[in-house]
Structure 1
Amino acid sequence: MDIKQIQELIKFVSRSGVNEVSLEQENFKITIKTNQAPVYVNAAVPSASTQVVMTPPAPVTSPAQAAPAAAAAPATEDTSKYITIKSPMIGTFYRSASPEKPSFVNVGDEIGTGKVVCIIEAMKLFNEIESEVSGRIVKILVDNASPVEYDQPLFLVEPI
């Protein structure tokens, strides 16, 4: 099983509402656990003529969660001239290698291709994320030690 398959499995588990998944192959074993409340499903073994379709539960949004998104919508700025550096995986975003060390990049810093801009921790592995573009950091879109999703915007870069 390669890293892409593991990332897809993590994405699937997080969307499905399942609390824990274990997968075991010849020389490989993985267990993925979420912090979601467990969902209990009682199911009988279907006969050959019966078809079972399972759908994940819909996400619950409270009015308190929806309000900040609505308030932020009018304050949009023109970001079309910027390049977005996106997360290549699901994990936890870190701006520096450790709390005592300085951030890899700050707003206003110039970066080049191959420059480490952050670390994303996934399954106890710390992955250095390198820039694929050259430019100047205009905005950091994620707070330090925050969870990030696959393809989530992390930085806005003004090309030089």
Structure 2
Amino acid sequence: MDLKDIQNLIKFVAKSGASEVKLETDDVKITIKTGSETETTFVQQMPMSMPQMAMPQTGVPAAMPAAAPPATDGVKTEENEDSKFITVKSPIIGTFYRKPSPDKPLFVEVGQTIAEGDVLCIIEAMKLFNEIESEVSGKVVKILVDDSSPVEFDQPLFLVDPS
């Protein structure tokens, strides 16, 4: 089971309204628990070499999205203003970087015009650096994440004005 399958499973469970789902295969054990405040996912890799050996039942948190804040009038007007913009979202969980290395310039800045295929940022996941390319052309209006910050799957990263 790869990361994309796990992310799709998390989204499916969140939308289904189930409070807990457990999935076990030969090499992976996943428990997804949802509650009123948070959603917790535990992924445990089972040993390949010695299946008879007992493993402790400890899990590694894979994702813990924060609960959505209650809607207010201020948020609604901000959403209406931002509705004309395209939101570029994170395709993976990892660490967000605005430049390729500490001594290099930023990929993009607010006000910069970008074209489809331009690299917007890098997200590091499990020691792999993934370049995130723009799927739209336009002008970067807002950068929603700080450099070197952890990001979640489907988290908004940039607002782009396509006009």
Q: TM-score range by the shorter chain?
A: 0.5 to 0.7
Instruction: Report the Cα offset of residue 25 of structure 1.
Output: 6.5
The CA distance in 2 between the partners of 1:60 and 1:137, in whole Å, is 26
Instruction: Report the Cα offset of residue 76 of structure 1.
Output: 2.6
The CA distance in 2 between the partners of 1:159 and 1:35, in whole Å, is 34
TM-score, with structure 2 as normaliser: 0.61
Aligned residue number for residue 90 of structure 1 = 93
Q: Aligned ranges for residues 10-159 of structure 1 at < 5 Å?
A: 15-16=39-40, 18=42, 21-23=44-46, 33-34=60-61, 73=75, 76=78, 78-159=81-162
Q: Larger Rg: 1 or 2?
A: 1
Q: Which consecutive residues of structure 1, in runs of 5 or more, have no partner in the other structure?
A: 27-31, 37-57
Structure 1 contact 7–90 (Cα < 8 Å) conserved: no
Structure 2 contact 40–61 (Cα < 8 Å) conserved: no
The CA distance in 2 between the partners of 1:132 and 1:152, in whole Å, is 16
The CA distance in 2 between the partners of 1:25 and 1:9, in whole Å, is 23
Across the two proteins, how many residue pairs are aligned to each other?
A: 126
Compared with structure 1, are the counterparts of its residues 149 and 13 closer, same or farther at alpha carbon in structure 2 (3 Å cutoff)? farther
Compared with structure 1, are the counterparts of its residues 3 and 35 closer, same or farther at alpha carbon in structure 2 (3 Å cutoff)? closer
Instruction: Report the Cα offset of residue 98 of structure 1.
Output: 1.0
Amino acid at match of 1:102: P
Instruction: Report the Cα offset of residue 123 of structure 1.
Output: 1.0
Name which structure has the greater RCO, CA cutoff 8 Å, separation 6+. 1
Instruction: Report the Cα offset of residue 33 of structure 1.
Output: 3.6
Amino acid at match of 2:89: K
In percent, how many aligned pairs have the same letter?
Answer: 56
